[in-house]
């Protein structure tokens, strides 16, 4: 299996930091975010190659300089054609693969890829998306009765009404065919242009991460504010 890391986003939520370095290079304990993701993915023996897609002609050049010519890491220039369009441009790299992993670089999580892969195959899905139904809130809550606060709940773990979709996917090669059918579009969004219809056909499975921590590493500020969670995730990753 090959793993594809999308690291070509503009990082608008991470400004002003991402005006100087790509989100993938956000430092965590002296190492860039992407390094944790790459090493964690490669810790699963069934992953034979990691493909990183980024704007290497722009700030993404910092990623290229960091990795150089490392074995089993391939760097592909971002096509600027959306999350789906980028996959179309690496079709040849995925030739012969029945399935592949897609990981958005700002997702930090020690997800069990082995179990996710097993579910993906068991459900005979076109895609499997990492999800969660529980989330620790960043603000305080209160139990209110008749306009009176009875108890405070500081940053509680809340059960969500809907499953939250995370940026980690297991995809079948039929997804590429679906994208090719829309190649006339300038921008192809994987979720809305491809997966939305497949979900209505019952071809998308969900792998709930359970009690595993997850964080959207959108900026250094978010990582600093959630320092304890970040440390816990890194430890779960084995680092």
pLDDT tens-digit series, residues 130-167 = 999 988 777 788 899 888 888 888 877 888 889 999 99
pLDDT surpassing 80 at residue 46: yes
* Mean pLDDT, rounded, for 2-15: 76
pLDDT surpassing 70 at residue 67: yes
Q: With left for phi above 0 and alpha for psi between -120 and 50, is residue 146 left, alpha or beta?
A: left
pLDDT tens-digit series, residues 92-131 = 899 888 999 999 999 999 999 999 999 999 999 999 999 9
- Alpha carbons 205 and 199: distance in angstroms, whole number: 8
H/E stretch holding 151:
strand 148-154
Domain count across the chain: 1
Domain boundaries, position 67: 2-237
* pTM confidence score: 0.89
- Alpha carbons 102 and 97: distance in angstroms, whole number: 13
Task: Name the H helices within the chain.
Answer: 33-42, 61-67, 82-88, 113-122, 174-180, 196-200, 220-225, 227-237
* Mean pLDDT, rounded, for 54-76: 89
pLDDT surpassing 60 at residue 18: yes
CATH number at residue 132: 3.90.550.10
């Amino acid at each position: 299996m090959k793993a594809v890391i999308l690291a070509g986003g503009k990082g608008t939520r991470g400004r002003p930091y991402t005006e100087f370095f790509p989100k993938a290079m956000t430092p965590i304990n002296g190492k860039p975010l992407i390094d944790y993701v790459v090493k964690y993915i490669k810790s699963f023996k069934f992953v034979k190659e990691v493909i990183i897609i980024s704007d290497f002609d722009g700030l993404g050049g910092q990623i290229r300089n960091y990795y150089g010519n490392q074995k089993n890491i391939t760097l592909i220039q971002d096509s600027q054609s959306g999350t789906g369009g980028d996959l179309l441009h690496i079709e040849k790299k995925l030739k012969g693969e029945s399935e592949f992993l897609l990981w958005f670089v700002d997702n930090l999580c020690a997800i069990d890829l082995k179990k996710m892969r097993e579910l993906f195959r068991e459900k005979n899905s076109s895609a499997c998306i990492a999800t969660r139904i529980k989330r620790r809130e960043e603000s305080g809550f209160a139990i209110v009765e008749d306009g009176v606060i009875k108890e405070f709940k500081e940053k509680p773990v809340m059960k969500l009404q809907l499953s939250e979709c995370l940026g980690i996917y297991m995809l079948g090669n039929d997804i590429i065919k679906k994208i090719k059918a829309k190649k006339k579009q300038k921008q192809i969004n994987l979720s809305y242009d491809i997966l939305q219809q497949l979900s209505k056909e019952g071809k998308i499975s969900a792998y709930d991460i359970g009690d595993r921590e997850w964080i959207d590493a959108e900026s250094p500020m978010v990582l600093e504010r959630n320092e304890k969670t970040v440390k816990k995730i890194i430890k779960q990753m084995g680092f």
